Structure 1
Amino acid sequence: MLTAFTFPGQGAQRAGMLAQLPRTEVAEARVHEAEKVLGQAVRTLDTAEALTDTRNVQLSLLISGVIWGEHFQQQSGKPDFVLGLSIGAYPAAVVAGILEFSDALQLVALRGQLMQQAYPSGYGMLALIGASRYAIETVVDAQRAQGRDVFLANLNAEQQFVLAGERSALRESVELLKASVPCAGQMLDVPVPSHCELLSEQAEILAGAFAEVEIRSSNCRYVSATRARVLHKQEDIRRDLAQNMSLQMHWHDSCQMLVERGLERVIEMPPGNSLTGLFRRVLPSGICKALQSDIQT
Structure 2
Amino acid sequence: MTVLFTFPGQGAQRPGMLHRLPDHPETARTLAETGEVLGTDPLALDTPDALASSRAVQLCLLTAGVAMARTLIALGAQPSMVAGLSIGAYPAAVVAGALDYRDAVALVARRGRLMDEAFPHGYGMAAIVGLTQAQLDILIDQVHTAASPVYLANLNAERQLVISGADAALDAVMALARAQGASRAERLAVSVPSHCALFDAAAGEMLAAFAQVTLRRPRTTFLSSSMARMLADPLRIAEDLATNMARQVRWGDTARLAWERGARLAVEMPPGLVLSNLTAPELCEGLAIGCDNTAIDTVLALCARFARA
User: Shorter-chain-normalised TM-score: which range?
Assistant: over 0.9
Alignment partner, residue 154 of structure 1: 154
Give the aligned partner of residue 83 of structure 1.
83
Alignment partner, residue 252 of structure 1:
252
Q: Indicate the larger mover: 105-114 or 181-190.
A: 181-190
Deviation, 1:294, is 3.0
Q: Aligned pairs, how many?
A: 296
Q: Which amino acid aligns with 1:97?
A: G
Which sections of structure 1, spanning at least 5 residues, go unmatched? none
Structure 2 match to 1:125: 125
Residue 102 (str. 1) matches residue 102 (str. 2): yes
1:57-101 Cα shifts (integer Å, max 9, x gaps) = 000000000000111122233211100000000000111111111
Q: Percent identity?
A: 41
Q: What residue number does 2:66 align with?
A: 66
| Greater mean deviation of Cα atoms: 279-288 or 213-222 | 279-288
| Local SS of the residue matching 2:124 | strand
Determine the C-alpha separation between the residues in 2 that align with 1:100 and 1:110.
16
Distance in structure 2 (CA, Å) of the matches to 1:295 and 1:114: 37
Give the whole-Å Cα distance in 1 for the aligned partners of 2:52 and 2:112.
12
- Which residue number in structure 2 is paired with residue 169 of structure 1? 169
TM-score (norm 2): 0.93
Kindly indicate whether the alpha-carbon contact (under 8 Å) linking 1:20 and 1:295 is maintained by their aligned counterparts in 2: no
Cα deviations by residue, 1:202-231 (Å, 9 ceiling, x for unpaired): 010011000000101211111000000001
User: 1:213 maps to which residue?
Assistant: 213
- Distance across 2 between alignment mates of 1:179 and 1:271: 33
2:43 corresponding residue in structure 1:
43
Name the CA shift for 1:46/1:182 in 2 (closer, same or farther; >3 Å). Answer: closer
- What is the one-letter code of the residue matched to 1:214? T
Partner of 2:191: 191
Q: Any conservation in 1 of the 2:126–2:185 contact (CA below 8 Å)?
A: yes
What do residues 250-291 of structure 1 show as CA deviations (whole Å, max 9, x unaligned)? 000111111122211100001131100111111142121100
Specify the alignment match of 1:243 in structure 2: 243
Q: Is the alpha carbon distance of 1:122 and 1:293 closer, same or farther for their aligned partners in structure 2, counting shifts above 3 Å?
A: same
Q: Which moved more, 1:160-169 or 1:70-79?
A: 70-79
6-15 vs 178-187, which deviates more? 178-187
For the aligned residue pairs, the C-alpha RMSD in angstroms reads 1.4
Q: Which residue identity does 1:59 align to in structure 2? A: L
The amino acid of 1:90's aligned partner reads: Y
Inter-partner Cα distance in structure 2 for 1:195 and 1:219:
27
Contact 2:84–2:92 at 8 Å: present in 1 too?
yes
5+ residue gaps in structure 2?
297-309
